[in-house]
A = this chain, B = another copy of it.
Amino acid sequence: MTDSLAKGHGDTRSRILDVAEVLFMEQGFDGTSMRSITSHAGVNLAAVNYHFGSKEQLIQEVFHRRLTELNRIRLTRLGELEAEAGGASIKPSRIVDAFFGTALRMASDVEGGGHTFMRLLGRTYTEPQAFVRKFLAEEYAECVEHFLAALYRALPEVDRNEILWRFHFMMGAMSYAIAGTDALQLVTGKFDDEDPSRLESRLMSFLLGGLRAPLADFGAAQ
């Protein structure tokens, strides 16, 4: 009943986290039972409640262990850019890369689980359950605050609400690019298979094009 993925890798706690990450991505939170998690991990049913307290706390821990690392890297990279610039303004494309590029590079780590996690994360931004949105917001708050501030400084002539919206749009484009490939594959047939490595450059071009687009005038459409 144990999974080849998890058998013998790490202790009980780690095995549960690794298996839960995969199953949550494949079947959602509600669609993944405690029994499914523990049997795939090769541990006893009661182990989740013993090590994490509840299913809800397990979900939070699955996100916490990856997000802390992701946002740490993002802020480190932003700090490097600010140090390089030494008070001068940073190019928006570099800020965007520090935030979105870092996520895409985690998403390209298939073996280490980064790919699985980023697909899960992308879907979870629109998760209806309140407790999920709440702790995601807490995990993100500091990082997003710093990056928005950097973008405000880099684009002083652009209205801050515009930047906020475009940041939101970029989050959406990236999340779907990673999480929603199944959907478009089903609709359109198939993507070419040599894609994964090109996703990063394709998406970054798109994001920067959107970020730099002329502001909408709120009159007639073009």
Q: Which residues of A contact B (CB under 8 A)?
A: 25-28, 30-31, 93, 97, 101, 122-123, 125-129, 133-134, 136-137, 140-141, 144-145, 148, 161-162, 164-177, 179-184, 186-188, 191-192, 198, 201-218, 221-222
Contacts and interface: CB of A to CB of B under 8 A. Distances in A.
B168 A172 contact: no
A161 B199 CA distance: 11
Nearest to A192: B161
B28 A128 contact: yes
Given A176-B175, A201-B221, A129 B210 contact: no
A184 B168 contact: yes
A215 B122 CA distance: 24
B216 A202 contact: yes
A202 B165 contact: yes
Interface centre among A27, A101, A204, A222 (most CB of B within 10 A): A222
B125 A176 contact: yes
B162 A202 contact: yes
Nearest to A182: B133
A164 B206 CA distance: 12
A46 B175 CA distance: 39
A133 B183 contact: yes
Given A205-B214, A206-B166, A186 B134 contact: yes
